[in-house]
């Protein structure tokens, strides 16, 4: 049984991308933390990061057999309509995660086209948000 951990554009450079906003943890650090969180349940993590929306759509479609998903769409939260359509068809619960507090930032970041489909959203807590999303899915699945 595996959990899909999906990260969108620019998240592959975490740790060096605007650390004052996104922190110093790398994506590999986050992936390892999520794996530790779900390991007691016997789950593994399928981690996919891509800067291309089409590749993320394919990842969702290719992982219908996962137990659930944690999705950080990055900027695709604002206009990722094909990703939204893919997640609308995803048959498992999923949680949207953002490292920064979207509502403390620019106005254009204040609305996600994906969030209405999600089990929930966690934003502004940094890397721990991914672990909290994993805990929520452990409770729900």
Decide if 59 contacts 89 (C-beta within 8 A).
Answer: no
Catalytic residue among 22, 50, 64, 130: 22
CB atoms within 10 A of CB 67: 19
Catalytic: 22? yes
Catalytic: 90? no
Q: What is the DSSP string of 53-69?
A: HHHHHHHHHHTTTSSEE
Of the candidates 36, 46, 41, the one whose C-alpha atom is nearest the C-alpha of residue 3 is 46
Catalytic residue among 50, 98, 110, 130: 98
Q: Domains for the chain: give ranges and CATH numbers.
A: 2-140 (3.40.50.9100)
Structure tokens belonging to residue 40: 């007691």
Per-residue pLDDT of the chain (141 residues; tens, 9 = 90+): 999 999 999 999 989 988 887 788 999 999 999 999 999 999 999 999 999 999 999 999 999 999 999 999 999 998 999 999 999 999 999 999 999 877 666 676 668 999 999 999 999 999 999 999 999 999 999
pTM given for the model = 0.93
């Amino acid at each position: 049984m595996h959990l899909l951990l999906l990260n969108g554009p620019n998240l592959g450079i975490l740790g060096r991308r605007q650390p004052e906003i996104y922190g110093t943890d790398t994506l590999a650090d986050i992936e390892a933390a999520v794996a530790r969180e779900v390991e007691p349940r016997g789950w593994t993590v399928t981690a996919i990061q891509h800067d291309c929306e089409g590749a993320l759509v394919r990842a969702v479609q290719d992982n219908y057999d996962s137990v659930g998903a944690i999705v950080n769409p990055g900027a695709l939260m604002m206009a990722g309509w094909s990703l939204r359509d893919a997640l609308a068809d995803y048959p498992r619960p999923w949680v949207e995660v953002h490292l920064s507090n979207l509502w403390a930032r620019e106005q254009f970041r204040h609305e996600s086209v994906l969030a209405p489909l999600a089990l929930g959203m966690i934003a502004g807590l940094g890397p721990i948000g991914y672990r909290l999303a994993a805990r929520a899915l452990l409770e729900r699945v």
